Structure 1
Amino acid sequence: MLAHPRVIGYLTQGLNHEMSAVQQYLTQASLCELWGMPGEAENFRKEAEEELVHAGRIIQRMLVLGVAPNASQLAAVRPGRGLAEMLALDRQLEMAAVRLYHDAALYCARFGDEESALLFEALMRDEEAHLGELDRALAALHDMEQRHVY
């Protein structure tokens, strides 16, 4: 099956995004280890693993379509200076993914590439779930900070 160039573009953007996220989460995990926050480091590592699974799914789809994957445009790492800033930056990263996958799913559905549309819809749902987790973590962190204010 040959893919439309725009579908390939969306797949490539998705792969670039997922690999950028892996790089960011692994950097944040390492920083948390350096700061003596092993639980947070483990959470960031798990997020990196989830993003690698996403990248693998995108690569698989690209290969089915006869396209060699190439994540050559990774975003710069934005690790943050503390846990709250890390989570806020990650939220921005995940919101960008949701927008990308939403647009990609709509285009693929209109173009008639149902398999790619289903992939993008599934990735979007995963990223939306991650956004929810980030929102809960940010709220919990905010609540904890509020309790320490006298």
Structure 2
Amino acid sequence: MDAAHPRVLGYLGRALSLELTAVQQYMTQASLLEIWGNAEAAKRFREETVEELRHAEKLVQRMLSLGVAPAASQLQPVAHAPDLPGLLRHNSAMETELINHYAEAVRFCVQIGDGENEDCFRELWRDEQSHGEELAIWLRQLGGQPGPGLDRATF
């Protein structure tokens, strides 16, 4: 086990919290979309749930390899909206937060010469950038406008 800079450990812990927040959000929104009768969108959100869970697992493995007990410090509340475009806008903001976090972590690892953790953060950064692009495309395909069902209950 290699000793990691305390700030790198902080980036790992915060990343775990953000990834588990994403898992919770996508899972909840998938169920909401199912209630709304949008099985296709629910399926896509469930796929995102699995992808974010894989990211969380990668972080847990990385932390364990560094001799650190994984602990997500704080999950953010699930964002909701009355329609799919609204959900996508919330998810885009969440992905942007992840992208920015990983970019900052990569910069710090480069600065201190921590190539192993840099590689880990860089891979996650690229994945999140891809997710963000996919969400932007999906939102544009929907016209970026609120869809039917503005009177739907959320939670």
**TM-score bin, normalised by smaller chain:** over 0.9
Partner residue, 1:95: 96
Report the Cα distance in structure 2 between the residues aligned to 1:38 and 1:123, rounded to whole angstroms: 28
Greater percentage in helix:
1
Q: Secondary structure at the match of 1:80?
A: coil
TM-score after normalising by structure 1: 0.93
Structure 1 runs not aligned, ≥5 long: 146-150
Report the Cα distance in structure 2 between the residues aligned to 1:29 and 1:38, rounded to whole angstroms: 8
Q: Percent identity?
A: 45
Task: Tell me the C-alpha RMSD between the 2 structures.
Answer: 1.5
Distance 1:143-1:90 versus aligned 2 partners, 3 A rule? closer
Partner residue, 1:82: 83
Partner deviation per Cα, 1:55-87 (whole Å, 9 max, x = no partner): 011111101111000013001110222100000
Report the Cα distance in structure 1 between the residues aligned to 2:145 and 2:58, rounded to whole angstroms: 37
TM-score after normalising by structure 2: 0.90
Partner residue, 2:23: 22
Structure 2 runs not aligned, ≥5 long: 147-155
Report the Cα distance in structure 1 between the residues aligned to 2:3 and 2:66, rounded to whole angstroms: 5
Report the Cα distance in structure 1 between the residues aligned to 2:82 and 2:145, rounded to whole angstroms: 18
Distance 1:99-1:144 versus aligned 2 partners, 3 A rule? closer
Q: Secondary structure at the match of 2:143?
A: helix
Decide whether the 8 Å contact of 2:85 with 2:145 is kept in 1: no
Partner residue, 2:128: 127
Runs of 4+ off more than 2 Å: none
Partner residue, 1:148: none
Partner residue, 1:139: 140
- Alignment of 1:111 with 2:112, yes or no, is yes
**Which amino acid counterpart does residue 131 of structure 1 have in structure 2?**
G
